[in-house]
Amino acid sequence: MFHLLRFFLVALLLCSVASPGSAQTGVPENGQGYNLGPGDVLNVQVYGEPEVSSNVVIRMDGRISLPLAGELQAAGRTPKELSDEIRGKLERFIEAPEVTVILAESQSKRYYVLGQVESPGEYDINHPVTVVQAIARAGGFLEWARTKRIMIVGVSGEEEEITYFDYDGFLKRPERHRNIVIQPGDTIVVP
């Protein structure tokens, strides 16, 4: 119990010390540069055209389908870029269409926590998250967790990258141990 309480107190203190910039995760604070991904739910509104407006989910292939506009690549683009393309496609059918793409639900930016934590599972990234914050979000360590060699498995292109994090070392000397910012798709493994 003492270990868990100590963990939460340190995590709260470190949140203020290690508040990463939003550019590190690709999730800007103002949402302007948010890159859409598979699973994200979009609300596409065409002013004055309810038959063309709809809610859509970005498929696993990164595409969406809309009436009159057809198939469009959505993943990897911002809502603004997508609305501009939809507007261009609809101009053949609708005079001066006003198109707005709203991110209704962010489902593509997630990370996973496995192993010796209170609540292993899948978590959304809706703001920059460090490994210490991710472990706190997962309820902290279980009694027998080995916190000196926490593994973070990330994907860069088609390659897996494995990084290790020494939680104990970070508590003792935070200036010598980087509090890693979690990226979408990362898996934190606590042995």
**How many domains does the chain contain in total?**
2
Considering the domain architecture, whether residues 135 and 177 belong to the same structural domain is answered as: yes
**Looking at the domain assignment, is residue 32 inside a domain?**
no
Domain boundaries, position 113? 2-27+109-190
Among 15-29, 38-52, 71-85, 168-182, the range scoring the smallest mean pLDDT is 15-29
**Looking at the domain assignment, is residue 68 inside a domain?**
yes
pLDDT in tens, 51-95: 999 999 999 999 999 999 999 999 999 999 999 999 999 999 999
Six-digit token string for 129 = 């998250």
* CATH at residue 161: 3.10.560.10
Instruction: Write down the pTM of the prediction.
Output: 0.65
What length is written for the chain? 191
**Looking at the domain assignment, is residue 7 inside a domain?**
yes
Instruction: Please provide the average confidence, as pLDDT, over all residues in the chain.
Output: 84
pLDDT over 60 at 17, yes or no = no
- Long-range contacts, stretch 172-175, CB < 8 angstroms, 24+ apart: 174/14, 174/17, 174/18
pLDDT in tens, 86-133: 999 999 999 999 999 999 988 888 999 999 999 999 999 878 999 999
* CATH at residue 93: 3.30.1950.10
**Looking at the domain assignment, is residue 100 inside a domain?**
yes
